[in-house]
Amino acid sequence: MRVVIDKGIPFLEGVFDPIAEAVFLSPEEINAHTVRDADALFVRTRTQINKELLAGSRVRFVATATIGYDHIDQDYCRAAGVHWVSCPGCNAQAVCDYVQEVLSTLCPQAYGKTIGVIGYGHVGKLVAAMASHMGYEVMLSDPPLGIGKPLRHIASQCDVLTFHTPLTRDGEYPTFHLCDAEVLRLCKQNALIINAARGGVIDEQALFSRLSPLASSPHRLTTAIDCWEGEPQVNKALLQHVDLASFHIAGYSILGKMRASEMCLTAFCEFFSLPILSINKKLVPLHGDSEPGWLKRISDQLKAQPEQFEQLRKSYPLR
């Protein structure tokens, strides 16, 4: 058996030795040629799982060590008999911690203020509880679950909007450009907008139109953006007007990475009817990047080197 693994997925070195040949590659090296003889893939969001990659291969199983799965062509996988799994909730606490750092930095006075949590899944539940504990009044919006109020109503009422939805383009409730020009227009004076969900949930052109010094709007917004459209290319004009910017690392924590690797490994063993393997905990770092002001520090880093988005992301020390 041969398993191709994105080398950015930690704690798996040596784990497959008793049962399979494990090949660790960068996302750029994972292509139709390198996966042709693989039985299973372990990937992240940078690898597009589709016909172009898998046609003619013997891949039967794909695990993405991420919550998001919009990089997986589900229709193709279904038709080709490829089983795939994601890791819902694996990094929910890490994203919640990120949002808390944003709030503490940009909106430290919580009492008397209202936060709108858009999406009430694994992350949204934790964020709502955390914000309530900080002293915010919490409003929810999750139409697919039948929870809370419509987004536009919440936008007009809240001091903070934080997005925690998947990225979808179809169905009854698509989330692509969910936060559009109209939502931004309805926001309160100095409202804080946080995107720690997926790039594309916010219409970046509409947001730039509001943040630009040339904007016609009489009031400004405060913004913290972790997920960007077109990653790893970043809208440099928008970047310079965002209050806090990061390189899609809201979910990057030691615990979150451990959970994702464990979930992928367990699903792999179950699919192939193998004894459950354990991650290599000898590789788990003892300490991560949690020094005070860490988010402001990496925001300055990204603004100074936007072309290094992917490298900054790859070299980020887990929190």
**pLDDT tens for residues 36-84?**
999 999 999 889 999 999 999 999 999 999 988 889 999 999 999 999 9
Is the four-CA dihedral 246, 250, 251, 257 of positive or negative sign?
A: positive
Mean of pLDDT over the chain: 93
Comparing C-alpha atoms, which of 193, 145, 199 is closest to residue 177?
Answer: 199
In the chain, residues under CATH classification 3.40.50.720 are 2-90+253-283, 92-250+292-314
CATH class (in words) of the domain with range 92-250+292-314: alpha beta
Amino acid, single-letter form, for residue 78: R
Instruction: Pick the catalytic residue from 13, 29, 137, 231.
Output: 231
Q: Do 44 and 64 meet the contact criterion of CB atoms below 8 Å apart? A: yes
pLDDT for 215 equals: 67
Q: Is 182 a catalytic residue?
A: no
CATH architecture of 2-90+253-283: 3-Layer(aba) Sandwich (3.40)
Q: Which residues 6+ apart lie within 8 Å of 172 measured at CB?
A: 143, 144
Provide the β-strand partners of residue 222.
Answer: 192
Least confident of 122-126, 166-170, 290-294: 290-294
Task: Give the H or E element holding residue 254.
Answer: helix 254-271
Instruction: Pick the catalytic residue from 248, 259, 313, 319.
Output: 248
Q: Is 248 a catalytic residue?
A: yes
pLDDT for 38 equals: 98
Residue 288 confidence class, pLDDT cut points 50, 70, 90? low
Q: Is 241 a catalytic residue?
A: no
> Burial, 283: exposed, middle or buried (Cβ in 10 Å; 0-12, 13-18, 19+)?
middle
d(CA 304, CA 250): 19
Instruction: Pick the catalytic residue from 122, 164, 177, 198.
Output: 198
